[in-house]
Structure 1
Amino acid sequence: MIPVRGFEGHKVAVLGLGRSGLAAARALAAGGAEPLVWDDSPEARDRAEAAGFAPFVPTRARPFEGVAALIVSPGIPHLYPRPNPIVARALAEGIPVDNDIGLFFRSWATPDWDNFDAAPRVIAVTGSNGKSTTTALIHHILEVAGKPVQMAGNIGRGVLDLEPAGDGDVVVLELSSYQTELARALTPDIAVFTNLSPDHLDRHGGIGGYFAAKRRLFAEGGPDRAVIGVDETEGRFLANQIGAGPGDDRVIRVSSGQKLDGPGWSVFARKGFLAEWRKGRQVASIDLREIAGLPGAHNHQNACAAYAAVRPLGLAPKLIEQALHSFAGLPHRSQLVRERNGVRYVNDSKATNVDSAAKALQAFPRIRWIAGGLGKDGGIADLAPYLGSVAKAYLIGHSARDFALQIGDTPHEICETMAQAVERAAAEAEPGETVLLAPAAASFDQYPNFEKRGEDFTALVQALPDG
């Protein structure tokens, strides 16, 4: 646990008692603060009370009297589409509002570091798609290299549940836009921006607010190195704002599909090969085509971002290449579930938006595509250029019929349920094809989250008879 510094002897309100909220309450208490906790769920409040935490009472006439700060969990709106009423009250009264990420960055460094031979480092990863895989891949590479490393944030543990830093430790954080937007302190040593595509727009008041939330990771703390995906305009703009000129190697530009060979530092993938360039010359190359845990161009971009993030730590290209080959991939992200009768079954349940589904559809040559769920604004009309590899679509969930109207002449079948879609796709798939779950939609019509959706697909596929 990371004891929170700076609130000794003060009351601090904690709103939201999920994983990050409870960890924040424990860490505040460990640092000498008095946490007061609240959640709209009576069950969550009961668990917190059983753990010994005093309640925050929002219905009091002056609920923030004597309270030094309000710590808000990521899922609770603080700005758009409108602030949670408790947050709104704190804003009106001038109570500082923060989250567990801000508490982590204000508390991570301690006087003990003066005795370390090597200062601990923080690598923070954000972006629309690929940030979980990139984060896990960075963690894996550092483990293979024998570095002391921990992983947390939007993946794995809450940040305040990490162990205090030791000599030369590295922490790898996946940070969502919800987390970067509110944190009052953001000071990573290396910051990674994978890409940007429209998502969570209601929460951020549009695409500009969404990008601004991501940009804070770079603008607030001034990382020593910034790894920036430059395949979209926003990434190119961000790299331009950070760099002092084309040769400024504090910025490492990353791409999947375009050659970056200018005077600066770049890592890019083309035709399945990763290349690192510095000062106008190539210094390393890795063949990504046969790495089972990283299929497709989108995963090649993730590999480039992870490679670029660990190179400033002194890791050699050959060691990184070795680690890439032993990376198993993450569940629900282009995860190979089974090979049966010459057909591959791939679980990409995390492909919840059009951009991530487009990348999945480009990763395999001939696809039986399972899609649908709770569709997002705009539907899937923008996937039209990527449907050439789809032999047939099997549409499920709330938006199945809407999706059917948007995929033109692509053969399709309304299946409604995952079980029926898997059964029909398995019956019709031919050797060499891939049955791909890439929903391009949220899961909340039939499942509590994308993980449960992916687990259902996996279980159904594993239950298919051999032969």
Structure 2
Amino acid sequence: MRISQLEGRRVALWGWGREGRAAFHALRERLPGLPLTLFCPEAEAEGARAETGGALQVETDATGAALSRFDVVVKSPGISPYKPEAQQALEQGTQFIGGTSLWFSEHARVDGVLPGTVCVTGTKGKSTTTSLLAHLLRAAGHRTGLAGNIGLPLLEVLDPQPAPEYWAVELSSYQTGEVARSGARPDVAIVLNIFPEHLDWHGSEQRYIDDKLSLVTGGHSRVAVLNAADEHLRALQLPHSEIVWFNQPEGWHMVGEVVHRGAQPVFDTSDTPLPGRHNRGNLCAVLAALEALGLDAVALAPAVRSFRPLPNRLQLLGERDGLRWVNDSISTTPHASLAALDCFAGQRIALLVGGHDRGLDWHDFAAHMRDTAPVEIVTMGGNGPRIHALLQPLADEGRFGLHAAGDLPHAVELARAALGAQGGVVLLSPGAPSFGAYRDYVARGRHFAALAGFDPDSISAIPGLGIA
């Protein structure tokens, strides 16, 4: 659906975060006379009225009946369409769309394909991969837009002049279905991996997988770049797309620390700033995508050395009091915490885990702790007690130290004491969202940096956002 198609229809916005604000400004610019209603929490209502100069009718009770009054509801990504009130309105004929869908519809060509648009998704590594893609495209001299779930809503860059040659777009599982519903086809779609996550939003593990994969199963990109090492991806059949596999011997893959294209060694990643072996492996996905765009990926690979890692993603803050501090606040699954531990294998680690409880299974994490445990594990947050109970039998065997913290400051205090004068790495990789205790993972990472003695402002900016 294009924005012009909203003319004359009853339209509401649902959510007043950055995505909601972006939708408001885009609709107001294109359709200045269109009446708009906003559904948001009571705490945000007065601020929304003041910010929009009264241009919005604000309501604070998004019931199914209230939503049903509208033909179209432009929903923020964090609000699940599977909520009972959304389902009730849907049954009454209300259409739910998001800013991602609007952006793709606005940019779609006659045949549906968006030339030069590369979408990236995956349970972990998608932000670094998207940013790295934009970095290499710019290194080749191409004007490139970096936007989406990475921190810049697409509707904030709806009509840039001059338009970029390429778009690097990160999509969360909340947004992938929007692409399929827009009718637009990405030029290239990258799917890195699939692990259970966001089950509270999607409602089940299978629905999460289906929604995540809808980027390629429903988005029908010209080329789908898929990880051959992922069982969910290996099983895919995509009759509408060319499939390019990475992480297999015939394509782009890693041998030790060296990136290969088939049998050809291309680039030694050991001296690059990419954090963690999984991110170095995802470089293979980026190089495959560049090749799918018709660019010389072999020649571009060395430009990885000038890449600036993103904040909150295995981010080495520095050293304080004989300890190295690593901020991996974006880690929201047990698999992400395991990957973080692997990056510092062989070092003395105090790991901080726990946060909002979404019901994810931590048994596999606990099983790994039999052989690859850090020196100390500190649990915290809503699911902290559940993780603690799983780990207690192993701690009783003396495999690692285990403590429970009331909050992040307490967890940092316990980690300092556990590592002591011998030093080591204090690793915040919670494996869980920050909801409840913090506004988002960025706020959690900033607090961790401050507790460690670093300036939060200096570690928070995402390099390269926007168009350059």
TM-score by length of 1: 0.83
Tell me the distance in 1 between the aligned counterparts of 2:415 and 2:430: 14
Aligned AA for 1:70?
A: V
Equivalent of residue 55 in structure 1, options 48, 54, 57: 57
Aligned AA for 2:270?
A: R
Judged with a 3 Å threshold, the aligned counterparts in structure 2 of structure 1 residues 217 and 402 are, in CA distance, closer, same or farther, namely: closer
Q: Deviations over 1:139-181 (max 9, x none)?
A: 2222222211112221221111115264652122111111123
Q: Is 1:302 aligned to 2:301, yes or no?
A: no
Q: Between Structure 1 and Structure 2, how many residues are aligned?
A: 434
Structure 2 equivalent of residue 414 of structure 1: 404
Higher relative contact order (CA 8 A, sep 6+): 2
Structure 1 equivalent of residue 124 of structure 2: 129
Offset, 1:38? 1.6
Tell me the distance in 1 between the aligned counterparts of 2:8 and 2:445: 45
Tell me the distance in 2 between the aligned counterparts of 1:59 and 1:460: 41
Which SS does the other structure have where 1:285 is aligned?
A: strand
Tell me the distance in 2 between the aligned counterparts of 1:402 and 1:159: 38
Aligned AA for 1:37?
A: T
Q: Is 1:273 aligned to 2:258, yes or no?
A: yes
Tell me the distance in 2 between the aligned counterparts of 1:412 and 1:16: 40
Offset, 1:189? 1.0
Q: Is 1:178 aligned to 2:174, yes or no?
A: yes
Structure 2 equivalent of residue 290 of structure 1: 271
Q: Is 1:345 aligned to 2:325, yes or no?
A: yes
RMSD: 3.1
Judged with a 3 Å threshold, the aligned counterparts in structure 2 of structure 1 residues 61 and 233 are, in CA distance, closer, same or farther, namely: closer
Stretches of structure 1 lacking an aligned partner (at least 5 in a row)? 114-118
Structure 2 equivalent of residue 261 of structure 1: 249
Tell me the distance in 2 between the aligned counterparts of 1:443 and 1:171: 29
Tell me the distance in 1 between the aligned counterparts of 2:25 and 2:304: 36
Which SS does the other structure have where 2:185 is aligned?
A: coil
Identity, % of aligned positions: 32
Q: Is the 8 A contact 2:64 2:87 kept in 1?
A: no
Judged with a 3 Å threshold, the aligned counterparts in structure 2 of structure 1 residues 328 and 429 are, in CA distance, closer, same or farther, namely: farther
Q: How does 1:80-229 map to 2 (within 5 A)?
A: 82-83=83-84, 85=85, 87-109=86-108, 120-164=115-159, 166=162, 169-182=165-178, 184-185=181-182, 186-229=184-227
Equivalent of residue 454 in structure 1, options 424, 433, 445: 445
Structure 2 equivalent of residue 6 of structure 1: 5
Q: Is the 8 A contact 2:12 2:39 kept in 1?
A: no
Tell me the distance in 2 between the aligned counterparts of 1:48 and 1:423: 39
Structure 1 equivalent of residue 234 of structure 2: 236
Equivalent of residue 434 in structure 1, options 406, 425, 448: 425
Judged with a 3 Å threshold, the aligned counterparts in structure 2 of structure 1 residues 49 and 242 are, in CA distance, closer, same or farther, namely: same
Q: Is the 8 A contact 2:75 2:96 kept in 1?
A: yes
Judged with a 3 Å threshold, the aligned counterparts in structure 2 of structure 1 residues 405 and 17 are, in CA distance, closer, same or farther, namely: closer
Which SS does the other structure have where 2:366 is aligned?
A: helix
Q: Which runs of 4+ in 1 moved over 6 A?
A: 56-63
Judged with a 3 Å threshold, the aligned counterparts in structure 2 of structure 1 residues 16 and 324 are, in CA distance, closer, same or farther, namely: same
Tell me the distance in 2 between the aligned counterparts of 1:102 and 1:212: 18
Q: Is the 8 A contact 1:192 1:305 kept in 2?
A: yes
Aligned AA for 2:55?
A: F
Equivalent of residue 443 in structure 1, options 434, 438, 450: 434
Which SS does the other structure have where 2:6 is aligned?
A: coil
TM-score by length of 2: 0.83
Q: Is the 8 A contact 2:149 2:172 kept in 1?
A: yes
Judged with a 3 Å threshold, the aligned counterparts in structure 2 of structure 1 residues 298 and 243 are, in CA distance, closer, same or farther, namely: farther
Offset, 1:17? 2.2
Aligned AA for 1:369?
A: L
Q: Deviations over 1:395-447 (max 9, x none)?
A: 33344443333221322233433334334434525668322111122323532
Tell me the distance in 2 between the aligned counterparts of 1:64 and 1:368: 50
Which SS does the other structure have where 1:460 is aligned?
A: helix
Q: Is the 8 A contact 1:56 1:63 kept in 2?
A: no
Between 412-421 and 321-330, report the one with greater CA deviation: 412-421
Q: Deviations over 1:343-396 (max 9, x none)?
A: 432111111211111111111122222222334425533113543251222333
